[in-house]
Amino acid sequence: MVTVDEFIPEAEAEIQDEVGDGHAIIALSGGVDSSVAATLAHRAIGGQLTPVYVDTGLMRKGETEQIRETFSFMENLRVVEAQDRFLDALSGVTDPEEKREIIGAQFIREFETVANEVDADYLVQGTIYPDRIESDGEIKSHHNVGGLPDVVDFEGIVEPVRDLYKDEVREVARDLGLESIIAERMPFPGPGLAVRIIGEVTEEKVRVARESTFIVEEELEEYEPWQALAAVIGKATGVKGDNRVHGWIVAVRSVESRDGMTARAQELDWETLQRIQSRITGTLDNVSRVVYDVTHKPPATIEYE
């Protein structure tokens, strides 16, 4: 890459050039790539950009509030409150791939609605170099918003960070003052907490996955895992007070990895594990058991679905 100082004005000029006096739209995920693309586009074309953040209800704790705060300088920011629609669409669905498809399709519907409303001509995307380069040249199938260009008839697609590697995007983010986004912890999957819930996604299970993931990320920060998470994997008998209860089993997972392709389960000390257990069972009275996953990838995957 050219230096960051050169890159930013060049990227802005390119965006202005491509969009002209049209209107552009971008899906913000909360990740660093789309955040940088959106900020560059906003600097370049200001009110001609509509950034869209879809709250699927499957986000991490505090994520939506953080987006609102970080991007409050963007006058057209749209936060789409779609939690109920995602939950409805997922009702009764237990197959992992079907869940992913439903989430992807619902996301596109939500985004399309806004794109039509604001009459968007251009789609800005935070695609980075590694997203474009798979061994066979295909775009990664689980790229978060991979289906977008196909559904809305855009005049053009603008990808201001398409030639950058992740560390370069982070450098640009820092220069743009997006520290809170970079500091924003560990990778988080596009389908969100749904892949941390085995079987049907319900409001109750989402709450367990969200609170538990929050506790796990917080408690394990000092171990600097590549990714740490909690998943709702089933039900088990327990005792709470004087009663036997049939509560949720929460699996805790913390892995070291370079790129997510392979991973090693992290060795944690007993006190940390116990603290996580007691915080989770103390916060969530419908959780009866917490287990720690010691499986590497392979044979396990990082997420549960």
Contact present, 187 and 216 (Cβ < 8 Å): no
Of 63, 10, 11, the C-alpha closest to 37 is: 11
Give the nearer residue to ligand XMP in terms of CB position, either 2 or 105. 105
Residue from 94, 116, 142, 278 that binds ligand XMP (CB under 6 A)? 142
Stretch that binds ligand XMP, among 35-43, 74-82, 184-192, 282-290 (CB under 6 A): 184-192
94 binds ligand XMP, rule: CB under 6 A: no
Whichever of 278 and 301 has its CB closer to ligand XMP, that residue is 301
Between 156 and 260, whose beta carbon lies closer to ligand XMP? 260
Which of 227, 254, 281, 288: binder of ligand XMP (CB under 6 A)? 227
Is residue 185 a contact point for ligand XMP (CB under 6 A)? no
The nearer residue to ligand XMP, 51 or 191, going by C-beta atoms, is 191
Beta strands per DSSP E along the chain: 24-27, 49-55, 78-81, 122-124, 156-158, 227-240, 243-256, 264-265, 287-292
218 counts as binding ligand XMP under rule CB under 6 A: no
What is the C-alpha separation between 77 and 49, in angstroms, rounded? 9
CA dihedral 264→269→275→281, nearest 10 degrees, is 50
Cis peptide before 149 (omega within 30 of 0): no
Query: Taking CB under 6 A as the criterion, which residues in 238-277 touch ligand XMP?
Result: 260
Identify the three-state secondary structure at position 270.
Answer: helix
Which residues here bind ligand XMP, judged by CB under 6 A? Answer: 100, 142, 144, 187, 189-191, 195, 227, 260, 297, 301-303
